[in-house]
């Protein structure tokens, strides 16, 4: 199951040990790490990346990643102090929710990640929590995790629904409007239609980015599975199937949204 995890530590040495722990578990195929970063919380609340020449995970993921968005958000209004690593963008709340980050999760992490502390933020798949939990506790860290599948039932783009509702209202008004009011209503309909098209295009781009990221993850897992046997290979193939299933579900929902919006285009 794909998850976002944040492991919080009191010092950099422990954070590096947590990072190495993920590397070893990934090597043993107990988990599959797609991206991981080590960060520090500065005294002003900003986030500093800890440079690590031996990176863990897929450094070539396309677009803004879940880890990057979460790291940027943890930096708050001050933002992330980029230190040689790929930039964590300060994401919108909607974008964060799409990757599984809720207010509750963000608040819990921020309460633990106080200035002077360090964290490892990772996007990974794990079949059970015990391997990571046991060793993180042994190192002296606190772990937070959020299942990314928890957001499956959300609307792809709330703006689409809002523009559709406004278009309904405008067309209902137009049917009963006086002739001298039609020009103004038509102008508003055109404006809302443009916003609807823009929202649908944003949604399309997000889905393309998710597809690109999913394909990178699947290629890496397939390469590892081809070199594995028995239970390890079965576990990796199950993670590949899960990634494909989650994306296909999102694609079906997006198709329904776009089909529902098509009647407002004319």
Instruction: Supply angle C-alpha 135, 4, 140, rounded to 5.
Output: 25
pLDDT given at position 153: 41
What domain range includes position 187?
Answer: 158-264
Residues 184 and 217 grouped into a single domain? yes
pLDDT given at position 22: 93
pLDDT given at position 70: 84
Q: State how far the Cα of 32 lies from the Cα of 25, in Å rounded to an integer.
A: 8
Whole-structure pTM value: 0.69
Retrieve residue 18's tokens: 């947590």
pLDDT given at position 56: 63
Residues 31 and 92 grouped into a single domain? yes
Residues 59 and 181 grouped into a single domain? no
The number of helix segments (H) and strand segments (E) in the chain equals: 8, 6
* Number of domains comprising the chain: 2
Task: For residue 135, give the DSSP letter.
Answer: H
Contact 220, 263 (CB under 8 A): no
Dihedral, CA of residue 59, residue 156, residue 242 and residue 212, to nearest 10: -30
Residues 197 and 256 grouped into a single domain? yes
pLDDT given at position 66: 81
The mean pLDDT values, 10 residues at a time, for the chain of 266 residues are 92 94 90 91 90 61 72 66 40 57 80 95 88 90 79 52 80 87 88 84 78 87 92 92 78 63 55
pLDDT given at position 6: 95
Residues 176 and 93 grouped into a single domain? no
**pLDDT per residue over 17-65, tens digit each?**
999 999 999 988 899 999 899 999 999 888 898 876 566 665 555 556 7
- Alpha-carbon Rg for the chain, nearest whole angstrom, is 22
């Amino acid at each position: 199951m794909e998850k976002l995890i944040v492991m919080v530590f009191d010092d950099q040495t422990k954070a590096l040990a947590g990072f190495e722990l993920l590397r070893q578990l990934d090597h043993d195929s107990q988990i599959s790490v797609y991206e991981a970063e080590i960060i520090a919380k500065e005294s002003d609340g900003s986030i500093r990346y800890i440079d690590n020449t031996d990176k863990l995970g897929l450094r070539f993921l396309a677009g803004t990643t879940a880890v990057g968005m979460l790291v940027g958000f943890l930096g708050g209004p001050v933002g992330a102090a980029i230190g040689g690593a790929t930039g964590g963008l300060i994401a919108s709340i909607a974008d964060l929710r799409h990757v599984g980050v809720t207010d509750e999760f963000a608040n819990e992490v921020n309460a633990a990640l106080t200035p002077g502390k360090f964290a490892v933020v990772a996007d990974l798949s794990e079949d059970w929590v015990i391997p990571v939990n046991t060793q993180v506790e042994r190192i002296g860290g606190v772990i937070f995790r959020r299942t990314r599948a928890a957001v499956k039932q959300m609307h792809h783009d709330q703006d689409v629904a809002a523009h559709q509702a406004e278009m309904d209202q405008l067309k209902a008004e137009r049917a009963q409007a006086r002739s001298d009011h039609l020009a103004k209503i038509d102008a508003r309909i055109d404006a809302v239609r443009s916003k609807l098209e823009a929202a649908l295009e944003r949604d399309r781009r997000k889905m393309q980015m998710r597809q690109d990221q999913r394909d990178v993850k699947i290629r890496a897992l397939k390469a590892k599975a081809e070199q594995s046997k028995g239970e390890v290979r079965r576990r990796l193939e199950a993670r590949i199937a899960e990634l494909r299933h989650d994306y296909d579900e999102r694609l079906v929902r997006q198709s329904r949204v776009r089909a529902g919006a098509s009647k407002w285009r004319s």
